[in-house]
């Protein structure tokens, strides 16, 4: 009776503690805490610490409301607890998990003015608990609204450009009353207020910068106005990934799944590769999406470009190992931008001990082999481990184990490695083995769990000249005293001389020019198939042994990936930024002035061609054509990349080439003072022009030549250093001479 009464008192005490804990739970704060008639007010309601860790959050819109006497304003009817709970402690939220929720209050135009109590109903089991903040929110009349947008400024130019993502739930500080307006999912925010002047500025989280100007606004109400936008940028959050392993513990030898999910929580598009390393004691049976490479226990998927909020997932089907073993799973997400440049790495690890009832008598082989076929080197010993345990209710006086070697093993290579107890062994020429533990006196597990176990190990080598591959099986029969034999599991190995693949490659010149093409040299070994990935090229992937014609039209640095595969598995080699593509010459053009061809200046080298044949010593930026026909020039820039331009049907305008010898400019080069001499066979009008290197006339002169040698002096010391032209028109024929002025 005393015990019963004590129990009743204890239950009453526990009930009282729980009742006090929930009934006294309060709403801690409401932000913003002021609203206006006709406004749909977005608020963040924070409960007292721990309330929602011990209770179920609000279930519907009638669980959150404002109350002023008989006047009640409910939250919006589409309220859903799962989507309105804060789940992060960092930007853009800044609140603790389970303590806060975000919701909208549609305030009627005829709502009573004044203070309202804020009510949030949580649930302790099925019992509703009212959490209250007295006078938590003030409803006022409205004088107008202020609107704007908050966005992630990808290029940091201070303008909300097309495809730049909005920033949701970003806080905008509103002065002078220390209020806050929050942007919605579209990035837009709205603040409604009384008559007055308000100061607007974003609440900038650590690691972020504001890119727009001005960085704050001063706005008067009334009237209503809009366009007060803020751009924010964070290099650390531009490319971000959230990596998750679904943490489900499998029971022993049961089929299950490992689910890996990647979500782009950054603000710019990204893609990457997910590497999953599963402990070798897990048997993989399939995938929702086949991996791009398999390297023993390492699986790699290359996932596509994800925009902000998009998710990629893969399911790995498997069978868990026996009880007591530890399963470990590691996932590595390597994130790249859309240009293929590495950004960061995200890692998630998970391990657990497999639990459930199990048969302690088993057999295993080392090496266990790779892939589901358990490929094992044919020239290596196979070591077998037989384990046993006395799970009866008395000592086992002797334990006999019968084993028969697979016919593909050579019995003469058999040898004992070690054993837990004193062991006698005999083997026949046919490979029939008897392992005898006489007088072992093995205690039962109920009496001595640790001492109830026993084991033995032996190794054996394959016969010579067996087929490659060869599958070998092995099973043991364990007899405790006079009991019926316990049959262990059957091991399976595929013996083969095939070696694990090695992926390797090179190319003659990984530094190329824009629009160039590459042939790759495959240096891999022991592989039967190949998968190449060439991001940034016109051929994104290839399965060729020696891929050729891989062309790059974009400038930049690009990764190359090779996955070499054979029946044993795959090996992956990634050379980051392996291919460097340089910009080709830009803006190549040729201008003809008279008989002189001028190519765009500023390139490293030039070579002129006439009718597709290189012209000897024609390696300057200009060339004086000596005959009509087709010309071309090939230029090289500082990066060593070449490009050219064709100039067809050039007409020199000189029909009598003897005129070339009738004009002399001296000295050439000069400092700006020089003379032109020419010969004339008659008195004739001569037109002379001084031109700059693009054909603009600097000065014009006319004179009447006399028979014999004629001279005209130039004093052009005011000209800048450079290349100029003197054009002479005589007897209806024109000729251009070049003059170089040096300072």
List strands edge to edge, sheet with 100-106: 27-31, 40-47, 100-106
* pLDDT tens-digit series, residues 109-140: 889 989 999 999 988 877 899 999 999 999 98
Q: Prior bond to 318 cis, omega within 30?
A: no
Over range 95-108, report the average pLDDT: 75
Does residue 91 have a pLDDT over 70?
no
Nearest to 290 by CA among 301, 277, 274, 278: 301
Of 365, 200, 341, whose CA–CA distance to 268 is shortest?
341
Does residue 184 have a pLDDT over 80? no
Mean pLDDT of 532-552: 93
Query: Has residue 284 got a pLDDT over 80?
Result: yes
Model confidence at 650: pLDDT above 90: no
Max Cα distance, the chain (Å): 149
SS3 of residue 451 by DSSP: helix
Confidence of residue 291 (pLDDT cuts 50, 70, 90): very high
What pLDDT sits at residue 261?
87
The closest alpha carbon to 347, from 242, 239, 248, 236, belongs to 242
pLDDT given at position 17: 34
For range 160-175, the mean pLDDT: 84
- Give the C-alpha separation, 612 to 648, whole Å: 11
What are the b/e assignments for 653-662, b being 16+ CB within 10 Å? ebeeeebeeb
Under a CB-based contact definition with an 8 Å cutoff, are residues 355 and 327 in contact? Answer: no
Q: What share of the chain is helix, strand, coil (3-state, %, to 5)?
A: 5, 55, 40
What is the number of residues in the chain? 743
Report residue 442's pLDDT band, with 50, 70 and 90 as the boundaries: very high
pLDDT digits (tens, 9 = 90+) for 43-58: 888 888 777 766 778 8
Tell whether the model's pLDDT for residue 661 goes beyond 50: no
Mean pLDDT of 181-201: 83
Of residues 207 and 85, the one with the higher pLDDT is 207
* Nearest C-alpha neighbor of 87 from the set 52, 59, 62: 52
**Distances from the Cα of 208 to the Cα of 94, 152, 201, 231, 239, angstroms:** 14, 10, 14, 10, 14
Confidence band of 189 (pLDDT split at 50, 70, 90): confident
Residue 381 in this model has a pLDDT that exceeds 80: yes
Asked if 389 and 355 touch (Cβ cutoff 8 Å), the reply is no
Task: Tell me what pLDDT residue 582 has.
Answer: 93
Q: Which residues of 667-702 are buried (b: 16+ CB within 10 A; e: fewer)?
A: eeebebebebebebeeeeebebbbbebebeeeeeee
- Residues contacting 729, CB < 8 A, separation 6+: 686, 687, 688
Mean pLDDT on 371-384: 85
Q: What is the distance between the alpha carbons of residues 253 and 234, in angstroms, rounded to a whole number?
A: 47
Per-residue pLDDT tens over the stretch 471-498? 999 999 999 988 888 999 899 999 998 8
Q: What is the pLDDT of residues 703-736, one digit of tens each?
A: 888 888 888 999 988 888 888 888 888 776 777 7
195 in Cβ contact with 214 (< 8 Å): no
Say how far apart CA 683 and CA 680 lie, in whole Å: 7
Per-residue pLDDT, 244: 64
**Percent of the residues in the chain that have a pLDDT greater than 90, as a whole number:** 32
Q: Would you state the pLDDT for residue 2?
A: 29
Radius of gyration from C-alpha coordinates of the chain: 43
- Look up tokens 């239950």; give the residue: 11
Structure tokens belonging to residue 670: 């000069």
Average pLDDT over residues 683-701: 84
Give the pTM: 0.38
Poorest-pLDDT segment among 235-239, 454-458, 508-512, 722-726: 235-239
Spatial distance between the Cα atoms of 318 and 354, rounded to a whole number of angstroms: 14
Cα separation, 266 vs 602, in Å, equals 42
Whole-angstrom distance, CA of residue 287 vs CA of residue 259: 10
Overall average pLDDT of the 328-352 stretch: 79
Non-local CB neighbours of 347 within 8 Å, separated by 6+ positions: 243, 330, 331, 332, 333
Provide the CA 691 distance to its chain's centre, in angstroms: 57
β-strands 298-306, 293-295 pairing: antiparallel
> How large is the average pLDDT for residues 195-200?
91
Compute the mean pLDDT over every residue in the chain, rounded to the nearest whole number. 83
How distant, in Å, are the alpha carbons of 388, 400, 671 from that of 395? 14, 14, 116
pLDDT in tens, 217-272: 999 998 989 999 999 998 767 666 666 666 556 667 778 888 888 888 777 788 88
What lies within 8 Å, CB to CB, of 675 at 6+ separation is 665, 666, 711, 712, 713, 714
Percentage of the residues of the chain whose pLDDT score is greater than 70: 88
H-helix segments, 371-429: none
- Give the model's pLDDT for residue 106: 93
Q: Output the pLDDT for position 537.
A: 92
Q: How confident is the model at residue 165 (pLDDT cuts 50, 70, 90)?
A: confident
- Could you read off the pLDDT of 590-628 as tens digits, one per residue? 888 777 888 888 899 999 999 999 999 899 888 888 888
């Amino acid at each position: 009776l005393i015990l019963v009464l004590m129990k009743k008192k204890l239950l009453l005490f526990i009930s009282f503690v729980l009742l006090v804990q929930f009934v006294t739970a309060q709403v801690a704060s409401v932000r913003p805490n002021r609203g206006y008639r006709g406004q749909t007010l977005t608020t963040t309601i924070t409960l007292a610490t721990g309330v929602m860790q011990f209770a179920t959050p609000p279930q519907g819109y009638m669980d959150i409301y404002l109350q002023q006497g008989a006047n009640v304003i409910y939250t919006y009817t589409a309220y859903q607890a799962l989507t309105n709970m804060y789940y992060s402690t960092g930007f853009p939220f800044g609140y603790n998990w389970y303590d806060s929720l975000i919701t909208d209050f549609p305030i009627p135009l005829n709502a009573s003015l004044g203070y309202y109590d804020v009510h949030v109903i949580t649930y302790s089991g099925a019992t509703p608990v009212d959490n209250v903040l007295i006078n938590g929110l003030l409803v006022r009349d409205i004088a107008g609204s202020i609107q704007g947008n908050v966005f992630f400024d990808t290029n940091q130019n201070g303008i909300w450009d097309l495809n730049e993502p909005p920033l949701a739930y970003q806080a905008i500080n509103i002065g002078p009353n220390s209020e806050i307006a929050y942007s919605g999912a579209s990035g837009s925010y709205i603040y409604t207020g009384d008559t007055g002047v308000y100061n607007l500025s974003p609440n900038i989280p650590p690691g972020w910068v504001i890119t727009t100007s001005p960085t704050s606004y001063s706005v008067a109400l009334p009237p209503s106005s809009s366009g007060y936008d803020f751009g924010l940028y964070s290099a650390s959050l531009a490319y971000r990934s959230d990596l998750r392993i679904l943490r489900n513990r499998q029971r022993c030898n049961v089929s299950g799944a490992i689910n890996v999910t990647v979500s782009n929580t950054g603000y710019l598009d990204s893609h990457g590769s997910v590497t999953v390393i599963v402990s070798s004691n897990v048997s993989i049976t399939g995938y929702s999406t086949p991996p791009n490479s398999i390297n023993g226990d390492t699986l790699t998927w290359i996932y596509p470009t994800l925009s902000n909020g998009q998710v990629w997932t893969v399911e790995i089907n498997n069978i868990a190992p026996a009880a007591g073993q530890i399963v470990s799973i590691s996932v590595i997400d390597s994130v790249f931008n859309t240009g293929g440049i590495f950004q960061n790495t995200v890692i998630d690890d998970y391990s657990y001990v497999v639990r459930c009832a199990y048969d302690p008598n088993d057999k295993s082989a080392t090496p266990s082999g790779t892939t589901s076929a358990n490929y094992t080197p044919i020239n290596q010993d196979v070591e077998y481990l037989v384990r046993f345990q006395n799970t009866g209710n008395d000592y086992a006086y002797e334990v006999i184990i019968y084993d028969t070697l697979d016919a593909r093993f050579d019995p003469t290579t058999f040898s004992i490695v070690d054993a837990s107890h004193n062991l006698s062994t005999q083997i026949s020429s046919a490979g029939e083995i008897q392992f005898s533990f006489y007088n072992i006196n093995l205690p039962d597990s109920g009496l001595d769990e640790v001492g109830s176990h026993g084991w033995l190990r032996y190794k054996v080598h394959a016969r010579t000249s067996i087929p490659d591959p060869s599958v070998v099986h092995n099973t043991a029969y364990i007899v405790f005293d006079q009991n019926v034999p316990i049959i262990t599991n059957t091991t399976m190995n595929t013996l083969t001389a095939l070696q694990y693949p090695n992926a390797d490659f090179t190319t003659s010149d990984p530094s190329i020019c824009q629009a160039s093409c590459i042939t790759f040299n495959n240096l891999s070994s022991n592989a039967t198939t190949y998968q190449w990935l060439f991001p940034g090229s016109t051929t994104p992937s290839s399965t060729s042994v020696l891929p050729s014609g891989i062309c790059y039209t974009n400038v930049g640095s690009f990764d190359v990936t090779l996955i070499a595969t054979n029946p044993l598995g795959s090996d992956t080699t990634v050379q980051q930024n392996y291919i460097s593509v340089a910009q080709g010459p830009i803006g190549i053009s040729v201008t003809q002035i008279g008989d002189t061809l001028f190519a765009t200046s500023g390139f490293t080298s030039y070579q002129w061609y006439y009718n597709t044949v290189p012209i000897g010593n024609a390696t300057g930026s200009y060339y004086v054509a000596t005959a009509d026909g087709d010309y071309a020039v090939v230029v090289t820039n500082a990066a060593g990349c070449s490009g050219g331009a064709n100039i067809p049907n050039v007409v020199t305008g000189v029909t009598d080439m003897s005129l070339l010898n009738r004009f002399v400019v001296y000295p050439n080069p000069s400092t700006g003072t020089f003379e032109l001499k020419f010969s004339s066979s008659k008195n004739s009008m001569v037109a002379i022009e001084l031109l700059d290197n693009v054909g603009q006339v600097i000065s014009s002169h006319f004179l009447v030549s006399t028979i014999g040698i004629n001279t005209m002096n130039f004093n052009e010391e005011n000209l800048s250093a450079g290349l100029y032209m003197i054009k002479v028109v005589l007897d209806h024929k024109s000729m251009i001479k070049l003059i170089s002025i040096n300072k």
